């Protein structure tokens, strides 16, 4: 009989639905079963704090890229799935929206290596690796909640075809990417207490040499003349830091939920004022969306975030104007620092601008 005077705390019920956890590529049957069982245990606990009732299932795979390609998404004609994978950053988890009957759900695919520490006994595991594994799983679970939130508010939004308007479609893609990571990192911050340093490091990596790399892309454009290509190449350089900043500030805001939220500029590892201004505007809008997330008047409230990205394009010398047919007029004005080195045009431009040195 319990005679303690300490009041019992109610344990919230888990939102974990009946799902299947599939482990691919681990030939040791016992090891695969242990990994699957432990994954269920963690999902059940995470589901007490994050709503994963729309979870379709979880795939843990040694060959992560193959698992992404093989996933049945329930809709024909979708573009193949891929992940971030370059010399600086590599994705290890992805939450994919799928259609199951009439229901929109989210399927989580995880790379086996980073989450394997969950099967080790406490005495045998590296605590930092274990915490990272938990953070990865919780982050993807938060995507389940965020995807369901937008689908509930705006039914059909995940499988809505592009509008065909170049600027609007790119604004929506950018806005959804930034909002999704901000909201998810804010939701899962309590499971990622040691992840702040990684978010900061990732942002510093993406901000490094951004201006020079954008100029290099424009210099190449002077030779190849393809405006869509220069738009994409400059976009990859200048928009990725904003997306990564969404992770960091979502996490920081989640960790300081009941305190004064941090100022943006002092947290940024760059002196480039174009990025300081853009990330400041972005975070302000994301915080506003979070505070009003159950009362967005329309999906345009989210898409408006995308304008931040197009303002940054202009600051880096790529100007986009919408056209009546939905396409965009892309103009890249000539400047001395974006002309190919050694070209006659560069020398002429420097003379005209008073910057030529013989």
Q: What is the pLDDT of residues 123-133, one digit of tens each?
A: 888 999 999 99
Question: Is the pLDDT score of 86 beyond 50?
Answer: yes
pLDDT for position 77: 85
Structure tokens belonging to residue 353: 């601008």
CA torsion through residues 222, 228, 229, 231, sign: positive
pLDDT for position 202: 94
Annotate 279-343 with three-state secondary structure.
HHHHHHHHHHHHHCCCCCCCCHHHHHHHHHHHHHHHHCCCEEEECCCCCEEEECCCCHHHCCCCC
Decide: helix, strand or coil at residue 69. Answer: helix
pLDDT for position 1: 38
Arithmetic mean of pLDDT, 195-209? 95
Question: Is the pLDDT score of 351 beyond 50?
Answer: no
Q: What is the pLDDT of residues 269-289, one digit of tens each?
A: 999 999 999 999 999 999 999
Secondary structure element (H or E) that encloses residue 56, with its range:
strand 55-61
Residue count (the chain):
358
Q: What is the value of pTM for the model shown?
A: 0.90
Q: Quick one: how far is CA 130 from the chain centroid?
A: 22
Q: What is the pLDDT of residues 11-36, one digit of tens each?
A: 579 999 999 999 999 999 999 999 99
pLDDT for position 2: 38
pLDDT for position 7: 45
pLDDT, mean over the chain: 90
């Amino acid at each position: 009989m319990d005679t303690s005077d300490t009041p019992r705390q109610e344990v919230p019920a888990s939102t974990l639905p009946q799902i299947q956890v599939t482990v691919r590529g681990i030939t040791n049957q016992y090891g695969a079963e242990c990994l699957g069982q432990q994954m269920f245990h963690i999902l059940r606990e995470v589901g007490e704090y994050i709503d994963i009732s729309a979870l379709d299932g979880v795939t843990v795979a040694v060959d992560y890229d193959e698992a992404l390609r093989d996933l049945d998404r329930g809709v024909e004609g979708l573009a193949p799935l891929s992940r971030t994978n370059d010399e600086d950053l590599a994705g290890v988890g992805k939450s994919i929206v799928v259609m199951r009957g009439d229901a929109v759900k989210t399927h989580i695919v995880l790379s086996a290596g980073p989450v394997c520490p969950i099967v080790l006994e406490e005495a045998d595991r590296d605590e930092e690796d274990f915490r990272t594994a938990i953070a990865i799983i919780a982050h993807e679970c938060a995507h389940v909640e965020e995807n369901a939130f937008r689908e509930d508010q705006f039914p059909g939004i995940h499988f809505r075809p592009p509008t065909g308007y170049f600027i609007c479609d790119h604004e929506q893609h950018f806005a959804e990417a930034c909002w999704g990571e901000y909201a998810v990192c804010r939701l899962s911050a309590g499971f990622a207490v040691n992840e702040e340093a990684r978010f900061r490091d990732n942002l510093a990596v993406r901000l490094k040499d951004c201006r020079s790399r954008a100029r290099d892309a424009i210099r190449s454009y002077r030779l190849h003349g393809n405006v869509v290509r220069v738009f994409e190449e400059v976009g990859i350089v200048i928009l990725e830091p904003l997306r990564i900043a969404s992770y960091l500030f979502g996490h920081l805001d989640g960790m300081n939920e009941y305190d004064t939220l941090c100022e943006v500029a002092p947290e940024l590892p760059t002196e480039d004022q174009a990025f300081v201004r853009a990330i400041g505007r972005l975070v302000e809008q994301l915080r506003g969306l979070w505070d009003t997330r159950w009362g967005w008047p329309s999906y345009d409230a989210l898409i408006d975030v995308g304008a931040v990205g197009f303002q940054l394009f202009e600051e880096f010398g790529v100007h986009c104007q919408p056209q009546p047919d939905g396409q965009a007029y892309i103009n890249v004005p000539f400047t001395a620092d974006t002309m190919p080195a050694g070209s006659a045009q560069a020398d002429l431009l420097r003379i005209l601008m008073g910057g030529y040195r013989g």
